[in-house]
Amino acid sequence: MTQDERAKFPHVHRWFHAMSSHPPIRALLEESGTPGGLPSTTTAPAVKQSGAPSDNVILKTPTQLKKEAKKKEKMEKFLQKQDKLKEKTTEKSKAEKKEKKELEVITYDIPTAPGQKKDLSGPMPDSYSPRYVEAAWYSWWEKMGFFRPEYRRSSVSEHNPKGVFMMCIPPPNVTGNLHLGHALTNAVEDSLTRWNRMCGKTTLWNPGCDHAGIATQVVVEKKIWRENGLTRHDIGREKFVQEIWKWKEQKGDRIYHQLRMLGSSLDWDRACFTMDR
């Protein structure tokens, strides 16, 4: 093979050298009188450098070729890691910008006394903000008596030809705060109440909360033990009842505040507790 042919078919040339160097194969070739003769050494195939003349060839051993392949593979892996790192940095910066944009909350900052109607003379915000929309309305609704059945009537017993709609809220337990299930139930009940009120009926949605005796007792007992390391027997019946009433006032007020935050159209003048006399 000529130098150009060796460069063009390096694997064939390398295989020929490896086979011809084996003594039995070499003997057979010599006996058969192979034309052109056999190479005297097992020199690595010639690899022609790009752009170099065909008569000026740089020979590289298999070890050198293997090292170059490894270097090329390492470089490709390094470049892939760099590309992934750049992508992660770009995604992180985009996420931070998005988070900063979402943190921007528009609020209602016009001084408005409780019970005073909301001031709508200013410009409306460019985007929807629940804090801005819901602010200052509820106290004005309560002051105007919109949720009372006596609204626009002399008394609750006055006859209404359009009918009457009255509903008692399923009283939530004073064992804790309201959760998503309460919000869903109250949203449905509030929709029914407001619809009947819009239809002109005498409407009452009565609020309240439940003492949940045994459950509340267990919760308060755990609280006393956690804070003071005492049981209800240690502090006595009278003191324990006082602790339960403190818990009721604390959690009951929190529950009513949550219902107001939901915008529930309840008549708070008629709020009751299951242990009221």
What does pTM read for this prediction?
0.56
60-65 long-range contacts (CB < 8 A, ≥24 apart) are 62/14
Question: Under 8 Å CB-to-CB from 3, ≥6 apart: which residues?
Answer: 46, 48, 54, 55, 57
Mean pLDDT score of the chain, rounded to an integer? 83
Q: What is the pLDDT of residue 36?
A: 44
The total number of structural domains that make up the chain: 4
Q: What is the pLDDT of residue 225?
A: 92
Pairwise CA distance, residues 225 & 38, whole Å: 99
Pairwise CA distance, residues 92 & 85, whole Å: 11
What is the residue type of 166?
M
Q: Note whether 96 and 112 are same-domain residues.
A: no
Q: Note whether 95 and 115 are same-domain residues.
A: no
Q: Note whether 174 and 68 are same-domain residues.
A: no
- The CATH number assigned to the domain holding 208 equals 3.40.50.620
> Residue 224, Cβ neighbours under 10 Å: how many?
19
Which domain does 86 fall in, by range? 64-104
Q: Note whether 43 and 78 are same-domain residues.
A: no
Q: Note whether 127 and 70 are same-domain residues.
A: no
Residue 217 has pLDDT above 70, yes or no: yes
What confidence tens digit (pLDDT) does each residue in 109-168 have?
Answer: 889 999 999 998 888 888 888 889 999 999 999 999 999 999 988 888 899 999 999 999
Pairwise CA distance, residues 194 & 207, whole Å: 15
Pairwise CA distance, residues 201 & 160, whole Å: 7
Question: Under 8 Å CB-to-CB from 275, ≥6 apart: which residues?
Answer: 211
Q: Note whether 170 and 261 are same-domain residues.
A: yes
Confidence of residue 56 (pLDDT cuts 50, 70, 90): low
Helix (H, G, I), strand (E, B) or coil at 198: helix
Q: Note whether 92 and 150 are same-domain residues.
A: no
Confidence of residue 204 (pLDDT cuts 50, 70, 90): very high
| Burial of 215 from C-beta contacts in 10 A (0-12 / 13-18 / 19+) | middle
Q: Note whether 193 and 138 are same-domain residues.
A: no
What confidence tens digit (pLDDT) does each residue in 62-121 have?
Answer: 888 888 888 999 999 899 889 888 888 888 877 777 666 665 778 888 899 999 999 988
Q: Note whether 177 and 229 are same-domain residues.
A: yes
Residue 272 has pLDDT above 50, yes or no: yes
Q: Note whether 212 and 237 are same-domain residues.
A: yes
